[in-house]
A and B are shown apart, each in its own frame.
Chain A
Amino acid sequence: MTLVAFQPTSKGAPSRRGVKPRREGGIASYFFVAGYTVLLVAFGIFPTCYAIYLAFTNDRGQFAGVNQFSKVARDYRFLPAFENIAVYLVMWLVLLVVMTVLAAVALRSWVRPGMSSLLRFLFYLPGALAGVASVLVWLFMLDPDVSPAGKLLRALGDNSFAATLNPSHLPVIFVLIAFWTGAGGWIVVMYGALNNIPDEVLEAARMDGAGRWQTARQIQIPMIRKWITYMSILAFAAGTQLFIEPQLLQTASLGRVSSTWSPNQLAYVYAFQQGDFNGAAAISIFLLVLGLACAGVLVTRSALFKLEDQ
């Protein structure tokens, strides 16, 4: 009966003008988001609340105030880990944003389509090795004895695998690994976003006498700004959770690399070597707050959420 009642509002309308469409989506919207919402609660919200709960209690489940936070913050390994990650993040974000946007614009406007397609494939290719595989490959790339860039490593003064893994080199090494596996995928996404800009817009810019650089700076890059922001947020998040890379380098270097180089490693040591889940959760909350602060800045400055009713 309700179905019948619904029909005339739209179908029977003599003219589109003046007819107020029913509330967009209505009850059906809940059906569309139901499955995702269940997963969100089960594997997003619930575990987050659990981490917060753990961070504010002790191992007997008693409320501990900020004791866990002050305990981990006083740990002598805490500040160095965050310093390491900060140096890494600055280098990583600058390189990523500059290079992916530059490459995407070049592939869209400078390079012939066939070549552009081939290059995108080649840039993306290492993305398939993200995770353990990429670290293993780079263990070899950083070993002057087997690396194709062995001459380059030696020229930089790294005559052995151990010399390459000098602690001061680690941020650069992790940036290289992250860029090698991650940048290509983002170049593909940026290129896709650039492709969405109608040809007419670019044509009009050309007619008005805009050169390639001007078109890129004043039309293409502003029009994909949303994606650049989005990429930065995700890259930041991924950067703060650096874990496998230092962990595997630590194993492969027979302990020369610190086992608590990154905050996540420190949290891991807390949880699985010291059996202190509460301390581990407290470190996680520090990381979480850090990520939220950065995302907040990006979200408010990039109009990412100006998609409410126009």
Chain B
Amino acid sequence: MGLVMAALALFFVLPVIWLLLAPSKTADQVVHNWPLSFGSFSQIGHAWSHLMSFQNHAMLKWLRNSAIYSGGSLILTLITSVPAGYALALTRFRGRTTLLVVTLITMIMPSATLVLPIFLEINQFHLIGTIWSVILPFSFYPFGVYLVYIYFATSLPRDIIAAARVDGCSEWQVFAHIALPLARPVIALVAFFSFVGNWNNFFLPYLVLPNSDQFPVQVGLNQLLSSTPSFNPVAGAGLNITIPELALAIIVAILPVLVLFLFSQRALVSGMLAGSTKG
């Protein structure tokens, strides 16, 4: 078992280590030196200035865009999915089963299936090229609703809810004072998956944001790739975007997601029901 864990760890970590080391080397050193060797710090600086000079600090613009799109939709996702998951799990209302089934269906449906129709829909409402064309579709997150639903359905005893109702709590009070405080782990989980998913989303922004100034960083990376001489000798000629610059761009692009993970790790690790079953 130890061997399996070690092999897994190696498989997951080795590409990351390679990625972190690549920007410290020149394009030549990346090929000829030992893959896991360190070049020099000054070389990282060179790679950074090459990257920044690409289309006049386009990288920073893309990062800011990604932050706006992912942050905005994260807020909307939490506001809509947490109450919805709660209501589906612990209340009974007409249409509940339908909503649950439709949620599951929409969730398992390949999201790329909807990208083209969503594009046409957004086009119809003249939202192409606006931040809403990305934020609103990103905010629709049935996976989050389902996570919250599963969490409440399996972890929060219905008796507690029933008792609170008997004691005179309004439905809002039950939700805000009993369910919500217990839901912290699952809220962290939803926030985390939503942010990571939206930050890394490529297909939709690629279609609905025609202007390079509006690209999120993932679409920007694609543009960077097609400007790299090693992958596109024609378009990339004369640009300083080589493997080290590309590696540095990847690192910068994923940094916010890593930071988020560090912050939500506690909630993730604490387990989902530790509070209610053992408290």
Contact = CB atoms under 8 A, between A and B. Distances in A.
Pair from one complex: yes
Interface string A245-265: 000100110000000000010
Contacts of A139: 231
Nearest to B167: A10
Contact of A252 (B109, B112, B231): B231
Interface residues of A, number: 112
Contacts of A309: 92
A39 interface: yes
Given A28-B172, A146-B243, A129 B113 contact: no
Nearest to B262: A121
Interface string A19-40: 1011111101111110111111
A193 B166 contact: no
Interface stretch (A43-51, A57-65, A66-74, A164-172): A43-51
A284 B92 CA distance: 34
B229 interface: no
B237 to A, nearest CB: 15
B166 A33 contact: no
Contacts of B203: 243-244
A106 interface: yes
| Best-surrounded residue of B79, B84, B103, B120 (most CB of chain A within 10 A) | B84
B4 A130 contact: no
Contact of B110 (A36, A46, A54, A288): A288
Contact of B16 (A126, A132, A252, A299): A126
B80 A192 contact: no
A43 B30 CA distance: 44
B15 A33 contact: no
B108 A292 contact: yes
A54 B117 contact: yes
Contacts of B96: 29
B178 to A, nearest CB: 13
A47 B125 CA distance: 13
How big is chain B's contact interface, by range? Answer: 35 or more
Contact of A193 (B17, B146, B272): B272
B89 A307 contact: yes
Contact of A123 (B8, B102, B121, B278): B8
Contacts of B145: 36
A50 B84 contact: no
B212 interface: no
B114 A195 contact: no
B271 A251 contact: no
A110 B3 CA distance: 12
B139 A39 contact: yes
B268 A295 contact: no
Contact of A137 (B19, B117, B273): B19
Contact of A26 (B171, B232, B269): B171
Contact of A50 (B81, B121, B226): B121
A29 B11 CA distance: 46
A264 B88 contact: no
A287 interface: yes
A157 to B, nearest CB: 19
Contact of A122 (B9, B113, B155, B196): B9
B86 to A, nearest CB: 6
B210 interface: no
A21 B165 contact: yes
B114 A44 contact: yes
Given A36-B84, A251-B232, 13 more contacts: A10-B165, A25-B87, A29-B96, A35-B83, A35-B84, A40-B142, A119-B9, A125-B13, A133-B218, A133-B221, A136-B221, A287-B113, A292-B105
Interface of A: 7, 10-11, 13, 16, 19, 21-26, 28-33, 35-40, 42-48, 50-51, 54, 99, 102-103, 106, 110-111, 117, 119-133, 136-141, 145-150, 180, 184-185, 188-189, 192-193, 195-196, 198-199, 226-227, 230, 233-234, 236-238, 240-241, 243-244, 248, 251-252, 264, 267, 271, 277, 280-281, 284, 287-288, 291-292, 294-295, 299, 305, 307-309
Interface of B: 1, 4-5, 8-9, 11-19, 22, 30-31, 35-36, 76, 79-81, 83-84, 86-93, 96-97, 99-100, 102-114, 116-118, 120-121, 136-137, 139-140, 142-143, 145-146, 150, 153-155, 161-163, 165-168, 170-172, 175, 185, 189, 193, 196-197, 200-203, 218-219, 221-222, 225-226, 231-232, 243, 246-247, 250, 253-254, 257-258, 261, 265, 268-274, 277-278
The 5 closest A-B pairs by CB, nearest first: A25-B91, A195-B271, A28-B171, A32-B87, A241-B110
